[in-house]
Structure 1
Amino acid sequence: MTLPAWGEMSDTDRAAAVAFAWHCRHRGARHALEHAPCRYIDAQALQDLDVTAAGLHALLVCGPLEELIRRIGKPEYDRIYNLALPRPTC
């Protein structure tokens, strides 16, 4: 099975990957796997991954966050990161 690369992923799946990578960087991988696992939404191949495999995929497609920001630009990173933030439910 071939998994999508960054350029082949939807914004929603990119947001899931970025959120997981952010949690790994700031809270540690164990914490991220337990409390903020990567949950892909759009690509079926990504949805079918278990939590650990999804997390590894997220880290591979994102790479170090500083490099991702350099690669896609800060405005695009912020846009994708903001998609991952919870929305108020009122």
Structure 2
Amino acid sequence: MESLVQQRLAFERERLTGWVLFAAGLLFAVGCVWFAVTGMTVSWAMAVLWVVWACFGIRRVMRARRRQRSFELEHGPTAGVRR
């Protein structure tokens, strides 16, 4: 069984990964749309793919927050916090 610190670090890492996926997906989606609007040959499917990527990132953030809430309800709000 993982310690409380390891559990807290795991869902914090998942939350951070979700935000990185969201930011990268949104940035690349906007880039694809910009290139398509300016006349470059960019597939709109790539823009859709990056939007789906960003949605996947948001899903990971929400899942990490749900896990954090249940963890804190079970162990207390300061469980696993490094001092």
TM range (shorter): under 0.3
Q: Which has the higher contact order (CA 8 A, sep 6+)?
A: 2
Please tell me whether Structure 1 or Structure 2 has the larger radius of gyration of its CA atoms.
Answer: 2
- Give the TM-score normalised by the residue count of structure 2: 0.28
